[in-house]
Amino acid sequence: MKIIKSATINEIDAKEVNVESTFTKGLPSFTIVGLVSSAITESKDRVKSALLTNEYKFPPKKITVNLSPSEIKKSGTHFDLPIALLISLYEEKNIHFKDFHIFGELSLNGEIKDSSYIFPIILSLAKQGLLKNILVCEVSAKKVSKIPNIKIYCVKNLIEAIEFFKSEDKSRFLYKKDELKYEKININGKEFYFLNEYILDFKDIKGQENAKKAALISAAGNHNILFEGSPGCGKTMISKRLPYIMSPMSLDEILDIARLQALDLKEPDFKPLRVFRSPHNTSTKASIIGGTALGEIALANNGILFFDELPHFSQSILEALREPLEDYKLLVSRVNKKVLYNTKFLFVSAMNPCPCGNLLSLKSSCRCNELEVKRYKNRLSEPFLDRIDLYIVMNETNLNDKVTYSSEWMHEQVINAFKMQMLRGQKELNGKLCDEDIFKYCILNEESKEILEKASQNFDLSFRSINKILKVSRTIADLQGKINIEKKDLMEALSYRRR
């Protein structure tokens, strides 16, 4: 019995699968077992056609292919190539597949094609340290070539794949790895990539100095932010421009975003640009939290999750956000299994001050009574709002307002602040620091400590709120190139707290 190693996606991570085959005497038949999906069952016809088209005889025996372990559900068309190789080379005794993981979908004429699951599977296996050599088609090879510490061998069709295993010299099939061709900086021996493209630019926004400054702080430290203001004041415009000024990305972050894009059935672009997920307020809880498929929370990892019209989201969704905003992980329990998602995203939200939106307006009168405004704001609970770092009230725009900040300038400030954070030895940006790191990096002098203590007593600040003020202060100091947090930085951070 010969075995070829492959893998399948199990929820969000990959599980290694052994493709086994036996050829026994009996009435000719072809069976695939091992808790397989319909896509794998249909593989029989693709494999038969590919072999017969290329003048390979289909063995007149009882063929049984088993995908082990059998208790794991398996899906994907990438099992075509391993199955076809086992059948075409079943009589070859000197051929071994031991050191290779093989992936590829077969066309009816034997051409090997890419599938959406191949990249996330290989990336997951590489992170688990389970593979060294892989055999894929050229399209797949181009995608996985960004993954470090693996050897990639590339074949175009089934005939080349057979020739590959019969050949002693396999070096001619070796795929030359592609490097990311983007701007990058090297910090402590680690490379971080960024993109100098500003499709949506902050220079399109006139006025709103306070909101743009807060957006800069949010991007530099990965601080959750809430914009409140009248309709048309620029809340959504500012939010949509945030991805272009976010901090540089490591290769691991770029690959992880590409993996989520592939699982979301989108073509990975491998750009060092943070994802921007913006679900509508009518979205179901399953689509945001995750059910049978990935939710918006998981897909926003290492990027931005934007909730426009925040109070209109259902209360169950908003309360479910409390755990991922605090622990940066989300555990979804299902029948007989639990799935853990990483949720290290920047949460950006926007809301009107009242149901009609004119409570803060100087030009239009508000149509809401006091009870309606109170009921509208009470949709957001205190524990949920306590997880917001920056709270910004925006004024209406004026024709005389001027352009002050451009995305290019803001991005440069963010990169400088990012360098300071990484050179200090931080593994996370300021907004995602744990309690131990806050004590280590967010140090106040005696005067600033007294101010924070008074603020804590006067405004009844929670321990979480105090930590958030410290983290925001650290980012404000970083943006100004300061080694220590000063009184001015703390006072500015206190001005961004929710009143």
| Average pLDDT per 10 consecutive residues for the chain, totaling 499 residues | 92 92 92 94 94 89 95 94 94 87 96 95 94 95 92 96 92 89 93 94 90 96 96 94 96 94 90 96 92 86 96 95 93 80 95 93 90 94 94 86 89 97 94 94 92 92 94 97 94 91
Q: What is the pLDDT of residue 292?
A: 66
Q: Are residues 248 and 357 in the same domain?
A: yes
CATH code, domain carrying 441: 1.10.8
Domain boundary among 114, 147, 173: 173
- Closest C-alpha among 443, 441, 416, 445 to residue 431: 441
How many angstroms from the chain centroid is the CA of residue 466? Answer: 29
| H or E stretch at 105 | strand 105-106
Q: Tokens 């939010």 belong to which residue?
A: 239
Domain boundary (173, 208, 237) is at 173
Same domain, yes or no, for 383 and 453?
no
**Chain position carrying tokens 């220079």:** 203
| Range(s) of the domain holding residue 51 | 2-173
Do residues 112 and 45 share a domain? yes
Is residue 417 a part of any domain in this protein? no
- Gyration radius of the chain's alpha carbons: 27
pLDDT of residue 2: 87
Is residue 336, in this structure, part of any structural domain at all?
yes
Q: How many CA atoms lie within 13 A of 73 on its CB side?
A: 8
Q: Do 322 and 438 fall into the same domain? A: no
* Amino acid in position 352: N
Sign of CA dihedral 47, 48, 54, 56: positive
* Contact yes or no for 258/119 (Cβ under 8 A): yes
Number of domains in the chain: 3
Whether residue 235 sits in one domain with residue 88: no
Query: Is residue 150 situated within a structural domain?
Result: yes
SS3 assignment, position 43: helix
- In a shared domain, residues 100 and 140: yes
Q: What is the pLDDT of residue 101?
A: 97
Give strand pairing partners of 250: 192
* Same domain for 86 and 8: yes
Q: For residue 353, give the nearest of 324, 315, 395, 306 by alpha carbon.
A: 395
In a domain, 233, yes or no: yes
- Using the 8-state DSSP alphabet, how is residue 74 labeled? B
> What is the token pair recorded at 417?
């602040």
**Domain of 390: which CATH number?**
3.40.50.300
The SS3 call for residue 20 is: strand
Which residue has 């329990």 as its token pair?
A: 333
Note whether 24 and 120 are same-domain residues: yes
Q: What are φ and ψ of residue 223, in 5° steps?
A: -100, 130
Residue 425 lies in a domain: no
Q: Which pair of tokens denotes residue 17?
A: 């699968």
Domain boundary among 138, 173, 208: 173
Residue with tokens 């004429």: 109
CA–centroid distance for 422 within its chain = 21
The CA distance from 325 to 320, in Å, is: 9
pTM for the model? 0.92
Q: How far apart are CA 404 and CA 194, in angstroms?
A: 23
Query: Domain for residue 369, yes or no?
Result: yes
In angstroms, the Cα distances linking 268 to 101, 119, 124, 209 are 22, 9, 15, 36
284 lies in the same domain as 353: yes
Residue 147 and residue 20 share a domain: yes
Burial of 428 (0-12, 13-18, 19+ CB in 10 A): middle
Q: Are 1 and 22 in contact (CB under 8 A)?
A: yes
What's the confidence (pLDDT) of residue 332?
A: 84
In a domain, 183, yes or no: no
Q: Assign residue 268 a region (left: φ > 0; alpha: ψ between -120 and 50; beta: otherwise).
A: beta
Strands 190-194, 183-187: pairing is antiparallel
- CA 142 to CA 147: how far, in whole Å? 10
Answer whether residue 248 is part of any domain: yes
- Residue 385 sits at φ, ψ, to 5 deg, of -65, -25
State whether 302 and 363 are in the same domain: yes
161, 218: one domain: no
